[in-house]
Structure 1
């Protein structure tokens, strides 16, 4: 089992250059749970995740891991606790899948340590979990977008951290592979107790797979809590500008957002008028 760590922000403001996107954000990521960050385009979802992962320097406030500023922690020490899959990762040209996934083991290797059997086992587990073991000897450049995304996730898994941050992990994946990846993250959380924080565009998948939702909009946090508390018709209208109905998924018993399409509404209006 993994160790539970406290990841939190205090009066955090973040953005790019002179532009402030998030302001005065204070929150605590539930340890040992799956948290999904949702919101409209350019709402600050990825900005929040990137600041939690210390890719972005806060404009004000702090990001704390077990009470210590992540921006003051040694890089190797932080990487042993927190793994990150960014939105658009870049790999060296000509690298093989196995070599890329193996790079997830670097934080666990000291200056004088060698590659170990445990490193081999970690890479194998990550490849197996993501269904990419048959791609191990392939060049990353030869893979489809969906295959590459699963390989990047494998690299993050090989790092074997207690905290895992993923920025849109289902990008480039078809519906079946989206479900496979999210099922994989739930299995990881259930078996290892890994704290997972991910940005997702799909509200219904976020509500189905996350224990905790953080809805971002208007420069801050509009709501956070269990999906049943956060995913409401009022919130969807406020954050996304979309009229909807919230129903219950008959399989997962989680809330499902059903948009009210303009054309359907017009058809109903015409039927009523007739």
Structure 2
């Protein structure tokens, strides 16, 4: 509940219904106007949903929280296949997927061991499949994608991109002097892992978005990012706190923030700054 509240920024939430080519997909809980949804595993993979349904969900929400994911075996082969399809759809659409599971990621699917002799066939009927080769191979790819999707770099690139860029563009083009409240809003847009701190990839993302507004491209050199990060990180902790961010950005126009004006000289502590690359934890 706390995680979902953080993801929705405390906004109003409600159930929703997606209309997909004559079909309806029920969304049990979603933030209103914010692109974040919450499902149980059974609601997504325990029902006869397919790739088109998952792509529809991916088009509607940039972040999806899935709870109560059980450890799966060949007894639940249909659920395994739906999970594979879901991950493929969300990966292709760059959705931020957060799983709350009963087992570590590497142990989520146990194809061998104490499982029943019979399970569903490739078409989802209740007939026997001689071996689990297809499922094992497909789930190895799914596992690889889940690991990539849990990496901080993936989350930085995908989470709330449209809303984030819209906020940055509005502040940049308005030419308004940022109040502390506006600076905090900007901070929260780039705190994509909801850690309450900005890490180096998140500062890089901010600088790339601003570079695109200024110059029409997103190429920002490493030295420029390190310089800005070092100047923001006043206590040299390897992370930028909201207070440090507000100190830098408040009472200035976004286009004129001094730490983003990279010069010829890189601060000494920016050259070997021990900035953290970020981390994501999952519930079990």
> Of Structure 1 and Structure 2, which has the larger fraction of its residues in strand?
1
Same fold (TM over 0.5): no
> Of Structure 1 and Structure 2, which has the larger fraction of its residues in helix?
2
| TM-score, reference length from structure 1 | 0.27
Higher relative contact order (CA 8 A, sep 6+): 1
Q: Which has the larger radius of gyration?
A: 2
